[in-house]
Amino acid sequence: MEEVQEVKTAKASLKYARISARKVKIVADLIRGKDTKEALAIVKFTPKASSDIIEKLLKSAIANAENNHDMDSNNLYVAEIYANQGPTLKRIRPAAKGSAVRIRKRTSHITIVLKEKV
């Protein structure tokens, strides 16, 4: 009988980020499945609002992997990255003829899961 080797995973998540999940998903799709070093390089040079947030979160996930799970940072890759919609902050802006327009300030929950190459 073969021995099944369990793959170590490290995770980092950011809740209630003040950016819409739709904007985060654009950058998330770029780095899914990539090595961590390559993913950091991609995020660093992507001119999107969410790239700064994702870069910080990716560095946090790498630090979690090294310090909490004894994983080698050279063998890590982005196994999963997803952005789910968080609660929406609703604000009101005055409009013409005494009416009001609702402004939706969207939030998101971003999660990155790193795994070690076998």
Dump pLDDT digits (tens) for 49-79: 999 999 999 999 999 999 999 888 899 999 9
Q: Residue 111's closest CA among 7, 25, 23?
A: 25
Query: Does position 2 have pLDDT exceeding 90, yes or no?
Result: no
3-class DSSP assignment, residue 16: strand
What is the amino acid identity at position 71? M
Task: Provide the whole-model pTM.
Answer: 0.88
Per the DSSP assignment, residues forming a β-bridge with 114 are: 10, 78
Domain coordinates of the chain in residue numbers? 9-116
Question: What local confidence, expressed as pLDDT, does residue 83 receive?
Answer: 95
**DSSP letter string over 36-102?**
HHHHHHHHHT--STHHHHHHHHHHHHHHHHHHHH---GGGEEEEEEEEEE-PPEEEEEE-GGG-EEE
* CATH architecture for segment(s) 9-116: Alpha-Beta Complex (3.90)
d(Cα 62, Cα 85) in Å, to the nearest integer? Answer: 24
